[in-house]
Amino acid sequence: MGISSLLSSTVVLAHPHGWIDLSVRVVTDEQGAVSALHQTWRMDPFYSLVVFEELQQVPGADLEQGLDQLGSEIRDNLSHQHYFTEVRINGKRQSLGEVTEYTALERDGRLTFMFILPLSSSQALAGHTLEYQVFDPTYYLEVVHEEEGGKPAAEALILNGEPSCELSILPANPDPELVMQAALLDIDEQAEPGLGRHFAETGRVACL
């Protein structure tokens, strides 16, 4: 199940059923080793509106309380799906820790979920290449980095304190047959797990 199930929304959209604007800050320690990915997810405007309306219909609860509960539910459900995130260093997949720092809030009319996803152990960046992908396995929601002027925005991928690293965001290049497969899914049909990987952008941090 995608994150859509976490939001308990009854809205029906074309496939994919919504999108997430993503920005990532690579968190490093004093030795320059990567310890976590600080992620910000902004749900698309229509999807956000539906969620806010649903939260405001809960008797006796204000929006802030509803968002606090929603953030906890999102975190709990995503924990079973590796937080939609895969991280590799020099091609080797890294194990991830559990998210304990997170928040859900309304920002400029958008439902925004922010969280810090730790690696199980810090990994040196010097002389290595870190790559990550963030995707809904069922491709119910499309995840794309924040854009500005048709290209990734400056804040879409940030690494502080490591000037010897080159940052880039590689576009997805799905096979045309997979594009057709996704387009033919019925509105209420779930794709096979793994479809979303083929539509995922890749964030890359290549360090000298």
| pLDDT of res. 4 | 44
DSSP 122-170: EEE-TT-EEEEEE--TT-SEEEEE-EETTEE-GGGEEE-S-TTEEEEEE
Mean pLDDT to the nearest integer, 115-122 = 97
User: Average pLDDT in the 106-119 region?
Assistant: 97
The pLDDT of residue 8 = 40
pLDDT digits (tens, 9 = 90+) for 129-159: 999 999 998 888 899 999 999 999 999 999 9
pLDDT of residue 188: 55
Going through the chain in order, the beta strands assigned E by DSSP cover 18-28, 33-43, 85-89, 92-93, 102-107, 110-124, 129-134, 141-145, 147-148, 151-152, 157-159, 165-170, 202-207
Q: Which residues contact 160 (CB under 8 A, 6 or more apart)?
A: 25, 26, 28
Q: What is the mean pLDDT of the chain?
A: 87
Q: Which of 87-91, 155-159, 177-181 has the lowest mean pLDDT?
A: 177-181
When pLDDT is averaged across residues 62-81 and rounded to a whole number, the result is 93
The partner residues of 40 in beta bridges, in order of sequence, read: 23, 114
Average pLDDT rounded to a whole number, residues 36-58: 93
Q: Is the pLDDT of residue 2 over 60?
A: no
User: What proportion of the chain, given as a percentage, has pLDDT over 70?
Assistant: 84
Contact of 118 with 82, CB cutoff 8 Å: no
Query: Residue 11: pLDDT above 60?
Result: no
Which pLDDT score, from 0 to 100, does residue 16 have? 74
Q: 67 exposed, middle or buried (CB, 10 Å; 0-12, 13-18, 19+)? A: buried
Separation of alpha carbons 13 and 171, rounded Å: 24
Q: What is the pLDDT of residue 103?
A: 97
CA distances from 53 to 6, 10, 78 (A): 15, 12, 23
C-alpha torsion 141→151→96→117, nearest 10: -90
Confidence bin at 186 (pLDDT 50/70/90): low
The parent domain of residue 52 ranges over: 3-207
What's the pTM?
A: 0.88
Strand 92-93 relative to strand 102-107, pairing:
unpaired
Mean pLDDT on 26-32:
92
Would you place residue 107 in the very low, low, confident or very high pLDDT band (cuts 50, 70, 90)?
A: very high
CB-based burial label for 145 (10 Å; 0-12, 13-18, 19+):
buried
The proportion of the chain whose per-residue pLDDT surpasses 90, expressed as a percent, equals: 64
Instruction: Quote the pLDDT of residue 192.
Output: 57
Task: State the total domains in the chain.
Answer: 1
Question: For 71-97, what is the mean pLDDT?
Answer: 96
pLDDT score for 61: 74
